Chains A and B, each alone.
Chain A
Amino acid sequence: MRPFDYTRAGTLDEAGAQLGKTAAVIAGGTNILDLMKLQIMTPERLVDIGRVPGLDGIEADGDGLRVGALVRNSDLAADGRIRAGWPVLSRALLSGASGQIRNKATTGGNLLQRTRCPYFYDPAMACNKREPGAGCAAKEGVGRMLAIFGTSEHCLAAHPSDMAVALRALDAKVAVRAADGSERTLPLDEFYRLPADRPDIETVLGPDGIVTGVVLPAPVAGSVQAYRKVRDRASYAFALVSVAAVVTVEDGRIARARLAFGGVAPRPWANDAVTAMLEGEAPDDALFRAAADRLTADAAPHPDNEFKLPMLRRTLVSVLRETTGLAEPSIGTDRTDAAA
């Protein structure tokens, strides 16, 4: 690692005052230390927010929950309220990383983790995300793990988080503290930027901003929720594709469907046109296939990852069958309680 100053912040105000363009926040550290060892990130100062009080709890927020930025991935997955009311979030978290990493990685850090694009991770390769203007070696390189939606000519990298995909399907918001101490909450589509011509700027956080938590809306009563992750090995691997679904069927029709897709885009991907095709309709295989075709109609795959299109379509159809009752639920598909 390059030399850096380490400071421990006692409060968010202290942390905010120490941040800036050459500084970085550290909390769990499982991603940033990996990147610093490889000199892909070289902050001159690390501001440790790990002991800032008030950020490590899960609190009621209206009918929903507010999850502090320092809540560990394993604690969030195991929380009884999350398991009962937002099970897709538990399932997504449990599908990611390893037991050791989930015990250390935080909610805020999970959102802010960097892509695992092999060209971002190799300082010998051109990468616009690592070095703006350097070019993108992935375009002519091995593209198996790259994104198929939302990319630009400057960057093809996929966002690696499973948790964020579930949060997108749950319509969660990210709580962000600005340099002046003000806080706002943003839907994930506003929190994450698409790469366009600045793939190095991944969120609207800015150099002085701090993620302070995640806000979950009220649980969806009587829903069936699923997180399905397809990957190269059974555990401890990033998604090739994943699907998060929160679906409610009433009187034989799909009353509500929220879908998000992982491993396929620079941020958790969603497509309102697909949802619109499903809502109000009776569950039906032909409908699900048509929705899946609509989803991948505007994909822009790399020659190496065209396989992700049929894989994503089949995974979506399978998840829709299970969440609407056309097929028996498999592990990863859970029902929430009906309204009290």
Chain B
Amino acid sequence: MHTQLDVNGRAYALDHDPRTTLLDALRDHIGLYGTKKGCDHGQCGACTVLVNGRRINSCLTLAAMHDGDEITTVEGLGEPGALAPLQQAFVDCDGYQCGYCTPGQIMSATGMLEEAKAGDPSHVSASLSGDVALDDSEIAERMSGNLCRCSAYPFIRQAIHSVEGKE
């Protein structure tokens, strides 16, 4: 079957099996390997991308469901020499060890910061109506869909803190 995807501002026309997940389309059809396959069941978050600006697990959706959608992968945020602030913050804060979860962490944090800016509450928010103050507990809760088996969590939180509120 045929699906059109807009990935990082470029149009791709794919001819694929209906079973192809968005993750496999990005990696195996388009050749963008930044998005990682970890658990392939939505538990680890390594495959996180933005679809129409919102973070999702690309392993738990079919490419066919995204005909015409705008996808942003870690390659679309920035490139070596011109990193996005969050990418640079992960470097500066040493927000990883092996690095396998890092693209998913960065894409998830990118989406999460927009959600917090919009005032979306979380499970740990004291009030459902107040402004969101991204302290450690808020960041940990909002990023709980991204596992780091090296357990670099303190530095991941630090990297996210360091860009919060900066444009």
Give residues in A with beta carbon < 8 Å to B: 1, 3-6, 8, 26, 28-30, 33-34, 37, 46, 48, 50, 74, 77-78, 83-84, 87, 90-91, 94-95, 97-101, 103-104, 234-236, 331-332, 334
Contact B128 A83 (CB under 8 A): yes
Contacts A26-B65, A30-B57, A46-B18 aside, 6 further interface pairs with beta carbons under 8 A come to A30-B42, A77-B121, A99-B108, A101-B60, A331-B126, A334-B128
Q: Which of B36-71 contact A (CB under 8 A)?
A: 40-42, 45, 48, 54-57, 60-62, 64-65, 67
- For B157, what are the chain A residues with a Cβ–Cβ distance below 8 Å? none
- For B120, what are the chain A residues with a Cβ–Cβ distance below 8 Å? 74, 77-78
Cross-chain pairs A/B with CB under 8 angstroms, 27 sampled: A1-B19, A5-B18, A8-B64, A26-B62, A29-B61, A30-B57, A33-B21, A33-B60, A74-B115, A77-B120, A78-B119, A84-B128, A98-B45, A98-B145, A99-B55, A99-B112, A100-B42, A100-B57, A100-B108, A101-B60, A101-B145, A104-B57, A104-B61, A236-B145, A332-B123, A334-B127, A334-B128
Contact A37 B18 (CB under 8 A): no
Q: How large is the interface on B (under 10, 10 to 19, 20 to 34, 35 or more residues)?
A: 35 or more
- For B18, what are the chain A residues with a Cβ–Cβ distance below 8 Å? 3-6, 46
Supposing A98-B45, A235-B144, A236-B145 touch, asked if A103 and B124 sit within 8 A by C-beta, the answer is no
- For B17, what are the chain A residues with a Cβ–Cβ distance below 8 Å? 3
- For B34, what are the chain A residues with a Cβ–Cβ distance below 8 Å? none
Supposing A77-B121, A87-B128 touch, asked if A37 and B144 sit within 8 A by C-beta, the answer is no
Supposing A6-B18, A78-B120 touch, asked if A104 and B143 sit within 8 A by C-beta, the answer is no
Write out, one digit per residue, whether chain B residues 99-117 have a CB within 8 A of any chain A CB (1) or not (0): 0000000001001100100
